[in-house]
Amino acid sequence: MRCAIVGSGLAALAGYATLRRGGLRPEEIAVFGTHEDPLAVWRGRAAAIRQQRMRSESDGHLAAAAFPGLALRETVRRGNVVALAQTAASRYHPRVEDFVAHASRVVERSGWSTSFVSRHVSSVRAVDGGFELDGDGPFAHVLLATGHPGLEHVPGAVHAYEPHGYAPKVAVIGAGMAAATEWLNALAAGSEVVSIRRREPLRRPLNVPRPYFSKRGLASFHRLSDDARTKTLTDLNQPSYPAGRAWDVPLERAVATSQFRVSDSCLTPVGHQVIAATGFKRGWRCDSLLADLVAGHGLKTVDRWIVLAPDSTIPSLTDDKRTLSVAGVAGQWAFPAADTIAGAKYAARAFLRNVCRTR
């Protein structure tokens, strides 16, 4: 086997689909992970917060080719042009059910199950000819797509991404997309809601401002010094959710009827169910595989990020014969929105270019 992908979530699937479209056969790729269904973990979290729409846009799908996007597919399937019109105005957000259905087809058609190996990888080491994964290999090219290192739990609270209902009185900790979704969910269930937050959330349609998805914006980002890039990433990781009537009108009505209020106190109200919409643990130190890799090879890090080349590779371990790339949230040093579908594809396409260069 020539290539290995470590991880079995959405970023891993994006990488696998890209390699397959690039001409690699299933027997040339090994996918090491703990979930044969790459949608399982994400789908469970989306169901927990009752998510109906994706935050991504028409090109936020897992197929290797950008065209056709989800908007065009929806237009053809439903026989109307509303989705295309919304895309032209940057207002289209796919239904979760449509995203899942399309992603499931990518899994089935790509040959994913042929390459999947049910195994948790705990160690990656550079050796002659590539990399060994827990002693197996060598693999000339390895894509690390380990996903988020775990949920950020709060003692005494149920996490938003875990199954839960809503009590008559609910306190939601956090101010990002999951928190905003939970405000509306609890209000719709008839609950009295308190939003506990340390700062006001930003209002933006995507995880990061749109210029960071462009070549020009990325070029500017890659020119930043280590300190400036760290500050930029810290600012970009502030909580946010989209603007619009779908969010604002229900909250305004709830405020007017005293059903919703904001508190900056760190103390949760007595008698309230507490939901932690606090997202995920952050940084390479929280990921046991990445922490072991950093320690074993003395990799350069800045704060909670592993320093990557603009193509998402680890410079000291990548050359003209081997590649070690990082996809998903751990790849933010190369692509600020690395934890999005667009970010997964960015790393995957660069990885494929490195593989093809050595074939």
Lowest mean pLDDT segment, chosen from 1-5, 31-35, 181-185, 345-349: 1-5
What number of H helices and E strands is found in the chain? 12, 17
pLDDT of 150-174, one tens digit each?
999 999 999 999 999 999 999 999 9
Residue identified by tokens 């809601």 is 193
Regarding whether 162 and 78 lie in a shared domain, the answer is no
Both 53 and 184 in a single domain?
Answer: no
- Same domain? For 249 and 342 the reply is no
Q: Phi and psi dihedrals of 302, rounded to 5?
A: -135, 115
Answer yes or no: do 19 and 60 share one domain.
Answer: yes
Same domain for 165 and 75: no
Domain total of the chain: 2
Query: Is 218 inside any structural domain?
Result: no
Give Rg (Cα) of the chain. Answer: 21
**24-51 mean pLDDT:** 97
Domain end: 228, 247, 276, which one? 276
Helix axes 245-256, 177-188, angle to 10 degrees: 50
Overall average pLDDT of the 247-254 stretch: 97
Q: What is the pTM (predicted TM-score) of this model?
A: 0.95
Residue 141 included in any domain? yes
What is the domain range of residue 105? 3-150+281-357
pLDDT of residue 265: 83
Q: Is residue 225 part of a domain?
A: no
Are 40 and 165 found together in one domain?
Answer: no
> Could you tell me if 263 and 344 lie in one domain?
no
Domain membership of residue 184 (yes or no) is yes
Residue 99 lies in a domain: yes
CB of 269 closer than 8 Å to CB of 172:
no
Tell me: do 180 and 304 sit in the same domain.
no
Query: Residue 197, SS3?
Result: coil
| Residues 144, 53 within the same domain | yes
Place of tokens 């827990």: 134
* pLDDT tens digits for range 272-295: 999 999 999 999 999 999 999 999
Residues 7 and 144 placed together within one structural domain of the fold: yes
Say if 208 falls within a structural domain: no
Q: What is the domain-level CATH number for residue 248?
A: 3.50.50.60
- Is the pLDDT reported for residue 116 higher than 80? yes
DSSP string, 103-136: HHHHHHHHTHHHHEEE-----EEEETTEEEETTE
Judgement on whether residues 127 and 183 belong to the same structural domain of the protein = no
Angle at 77 between CA 72 and CA 79, to 5 degrees: 85
Are 144 and 285 contained in the same domain?
A: yes
Residue 223 resides in a domain: no
If pLDDT is split at 50, 70 and 90, which confidence band does 60 have? Answer: very high
Matching residue, tokens 């700062």: 199
